[in-house]
Structure 1
């Protein structure tokens, strides 16, 4: 169902903002939009009373920002912007340029704020591991002591990755952390595969100005391709010993941009080998009949990475590195190596990346305009500020990325809405590749990219602009799936929770199977692999997909479902006749015919219960 919602009267303008929280009234009377008009077009504006449009998902809750995390005189102020999210147990940790917030999300329809911890410094990108919280700090206003003032000098400034002991939320303790030359715009947490690692690793990406060596020893802003001491053309690998996290330090200034893709060609730097990924500025234009036309906008030079997604179970990382997309070998966590790189003449600024679950595909985002510009207008090309989908293929030279298509939010937004591809994660539906993704003031879009050449939207949520007359930065920074629901960090407004609802594109069984995947922790840029245990929801998901594809229809479809229902009823009876149960599975498998996914899932389920 697609609908618009007009909020109830109540909070109108800044004067109505509560003293304790940024209150929001966003659920109201529903009116059905005409089928031929996307309900996201023409939504009414307002920070506390914007209209919403929603399709195939449900807004469960909106939590306004707590006291101290918004400026009543400037609700779009980036100094108080909500940013990225990390999850652990029943908690969501919401980053903010001014610190972080901790919500109990055990009831996704009613999150409870447990802690609002003030610690300014910009970005606020978060990761969690056990009792440790890691936080990116980029701006020069960040203080070592987390205080709000005065403005720090070289002896009191913190720029890098903060580390907190969060074992007691009532007594959060900041550990020394790791100062870096360009601060930390984003970071990615790598937890080595296996039980009880001795250390975890952080890949740090700093994109701001580089400090002088007088402020932090070893810093060097030289962009020379022959100076191996430069901070440019590298990322920092930080090792955090888990028995002594206070001793965390940079263990590798990793030269993933070099000609050889790592630090092994140090001796060649005198010959200009520091950057093997040259090129910047305006791009050549593809022919008009090319799938990747028109091209032509300015592209950033690749000297640092914006964001890196690490997938330890498959030994790969994907670096979104300004002008290039990188595929990394991370099998040795402290020594990543670039194994392939791609450029795209429609991409201005490679921003982030997401693998599919089996590591055969990767999606890169383009943050054209830096996230603060309106880049989803009707006049903007559909392949600018979009996702680029690549298949990862095995070749004689190793793994390579092959471009497949673009996906962009499939509805125009206004000139008053900052909108561009941003952060998202996988929705773990068996047999499909599905992603939920934030688009700033374009809202949230859920899309299927199982066929990388034909990605298709299946659900969305959108609010009207913050203002009807000017662009006030806001919207969803990140929207992630976590243990059965979706959670969005809203830059100006607060914290949203959502549920997927059944539709022609997504069945109840598929949603139920996705909810069976449960993680103890989720740091999206430290991507974790999932595997579905045999269940009736999984089998029925494949049945629904076969019906949708038209490969299982009519009497055969109904009989498969009936046999599965009977088998489940027998098993639930307490003392099932195993022979009778097997007969039902055998009959379901026989009727499924050539639908291999259904047959394999049914057999796996029978083996697990026999």
Structure 2
């Protein structure tokens, strides 16, 4: 186990841009530039409290719609997307929203099936749902039964959603610690099956008629405690990640096919990583690594990143049934490694720290900027190398639970940009293209749920899907939002990101995005070259003139030769090298014209 995080924080001072226009008649707050050397308040600070009438502040993103939860649904959790639908997980089941018009999502269906957490994922016509607590039952009943009852269920449910408004449960795979979260993993070489990695963080269940073979010989977390007198590993239902195999032709036969030991020591002990405890005076006390909270798979590069309570780990998933740990890191400022996101190139990982468990106020003035934050790691030769921290920069009150939580990439060509939920810290969008210097470029926030006490709420998840940001608000409901052009992100970059479309999306099953050649992509790279100073003055003017003329020719149905002549002139007059993003995009667009 290695420790590569430096003792010093690299905290980027914030730069807040002008606020984008908000929909729904919301009072707008004007954001002014603020740095560590000014006294200008952040517009997110001091917002009025309320359930559905709280004050709001935004920069470079607009709220389009806010859908309130319907009865009997309680705590909203994670999101998954398929086609024109967003599936909003909830501790009491899930709700299905039609998002074909992002400005006016509509509730298309609900499914009551309680069992805690309720994280959801999709694959084709299948929906997977995590269950870890009461009243989880095989029949989706709403009344808890004793642990010895054969109806008791903890694990992963599998639904057929070929008729999405009428889900049908086809399988329920029991696991020893239930499922706090799960990850759908594709095998590029296996089209007949899909795999589900189960992250169970609850206590080990006792052997019952519902599930046999769960063992927990000791609650100790040390390497030695899980070796017998002869130095052999002791079996345990802790320190493992279950791998479920789901045959696509017969999902009812889904079953656990491996109990992967991703934390194993050289001795063979399953308890080989962080045993839990303090990192020293003035540093965090970090949870023991006996499970992963979240695993993000990136099948196209054969890797996964596990946020595993006391460690961040890098995993080889080239054989999905038998994942193998490649590297593990810990951090003296992380309390609980919670989730992970790769950049598109697979050269970086953003790990989150859920300091306070999600219910604590951890964005107050006195809270360190590198606690309850993201840690950004570069991947170098299969190893994780610490680069920087990023934390939502606005000071929040003691009445707002706030800490790093779930997010996803926004597919802007040539940049690493992530939208992320911070519970009652709202959402923050930041650029980590320079992994050592992440910077916030947009945000949306509401005031606290209550002015007098901490009532758990805020965004559980905020994800980008097919042109918009969608968020599941724990206590309020389901939101849709739209990026607004700014000095940080041009209209062309937003348009290019929106051109990348998916049939389905789970944030924990990352796809590799590639943009088809387009004028929006070309113009995005030109905007970026202007922003970084590599293209300016007369050259910039001429490049844009030729691109605009080429676009007019395409619209008029002109011959490809005429279009390509304009694009070739744009590349030549840029003065940039052939391998530059601008010239490469121009050449790709020209080639696409025939």
Q: Same fold (TM over 0.5)?
A: yes
Matching of residue 452 in structure 1 with residue 435 in structure 2: yes
- Tell me what 1:406 maps to: 389
Within 5 Å, which residues of 2 pair with 1:163-562?
A: 163-193=158-188, 197-214=191-208, 216-223=211-218, 224-226=225-227, 227-259=233-265, 269=268, 273-284=269-280, 296-394=283-381, 399-562=382-545
Task: Quote the offset at 1:565 in angstroms.
Answer: 0.5
Does the CA-based 8 Å contact 2:135-2:141 persist in structure 1? Answer: no
Unaligned runs of 5+ in 2: 1-16, 34-39, 219-224, 228-232
Quick check: 30-39 or 134-143, which moved more?
30-39
Task: Determine helix, strand or coil for the equivalent of 1:30.
Answer: coil
Residue from 115, 119, 123 that aligns with 2:117: 123
Within 5 Å, which residues of 2 pair with 1:147-166?
A: 147-154=141-148, 155-166=150-161
Question: Residues 440-464 of structure 1: CA distance to partner in whole angstroms, max 9, x if unpaired?
Answer: 0000000000000000000000000
Does the CA-based 8 Å contact 1:4-1:53 persist in structure 2? Answer: no
Does the CA-based 8 Å contact 2:188-2:299 persist in structure 1? Answer: yes
CA gap of 1:177–1:27, structure 2 versus 1, over 3 A, is farther
Matching of residue 584 in structure 1 with residue 566 in structure 2: yes
For 2:192 and 2:32, how far apart are their aligned partners in 1? 58
Task: Determine helix, strand or coil for the equivalent of 2:583.
Answer: helix
Task: Quote the offset at 1:175 in angstroms.
Answer: 1.7
CA gap of 1:169–1:541, structure 2 versus 1, over 3 A, is closer
For 1:210 and 1:455, how far apart are their aligned partners in 2? 39
Question: Residues 427-478 of structure 1: CA distance to partner in whole angstroms, max 9, x if unpaired?
Answer: 0000000000000000000000000000000000000000010000000000
Task: Quote the offset at 1:275 in angstroms.
Answer: 2.2
- Tell me what 2:128 maps to: 134
For 2:517 and 2:588, how far apart are their aligned partners in 1? 6
Does the CA-based 8 Å contact 2:19-2:61 persist in structure 1? Answer: no
Task: Quote the offset at 1:156 in angstroms.
Answer: 1.7
Task: Quote the offset at 1:209 in angstroms.
Answer: 1.2
Task: Determine helix, strand or coil for the equivalent of 1:28.
Answer: coil
Does the CA-based 8 Å contact 2:457-2:473 persist in structure 1? Answer: yes
Matching of residue 603 in structure 1 with residue 590 in structure 2: no
Task: Quote the offset at 1:151 in angstroms.
Answer: 3.6
- Tell me what 2:12 maps to: none
Matching of residue 65 in structure 1 with residue 69 in structure 2: yes
For 2:500 and 2:446, how far apart are their aligned partners in 1? 29
For 1:332 and 1:530, how far apart are their aligned partners in 2? 22
For 2:77 and 2:460, how far apart are their aligned partners in 1? 6
Quick check: 162-171 or 510-519, which moved more?
162-171
Question: Residues 459-511 of structure 1: CA distance to partner in whole angstroms, max 9, x if unpaired?
Answer: 00000000010000000000000000010000000000001010000000000
Quick check: 28-37 or 411-420, which moved more?
28-37
For 2:443 and 2:31, how far apart are their aligned partners in 1? 14
Count the aligned residue pairs: 557
CA gap of 1:6–1:112, structure 2 versus 1, over 3 A, is closer
For 1:39 and 1:280, how far apart are their aligned partners in 2? 38
Quick check: 154-163 or 373-382, which moved more?
154-163
For 2:571 and 2:125, how far apart are their aligned partners in 1? 47
Question: Residues 179-238 of structure 1: CA distance to partner in whole angstroms, max 9, x if unpaired?
Answer: 0010000000002226x7111000000001110123521111234412542011111011
For 2:527 and 2:188, how far apart are their aligned partners in 1? 34
For 2:320 and 2:292, how far apart are their aligned partners in 1? 17
For 2:587 and 2:244, how far apart are their aligned partners in 1? 45
Matching of residue 145 in structure 1 with residue 139 in structure 2: yes
CA gap of 1:438–1:222, structure 2 versus 1, over 3 A, is same
CA gap of 1:488–1:439, structure 2 versus 1, over 3 A, is same
Task: Determine helix, strand or coil for the equivalent of 1:557.
Answer: helix
Does the CA-based 8 Å contact 2:522-2:586 persist in structure 1? Answer: yes
Higher RCO (C-alpha under 8 Å, 6+ residues apart): 2
CA gap of 1:464–1:608, structure 2 versus 1, over 3 A, is same
- Tell me what 1:29 maps to: 27
For 2:363 and 2:466, how far apart are their aligned partners in 1? 31
For 1:592 and 1:498, how far apart are their aligned partners in 2? 35
Task: Determine helix, strand or coil for the equivalent of 1:29.
Answer: coil
RMSD value, Cα: 1.7
Task: Determine helix, strand or coil for the equivalent of 1:374.
Answer: coil
Does the CA-based 8 Å contact 2:20-2:60 persist in structure 1? Answer: no
Task: Determine helix, strand or coil for the equivalent of 1:54.
Answer: strand
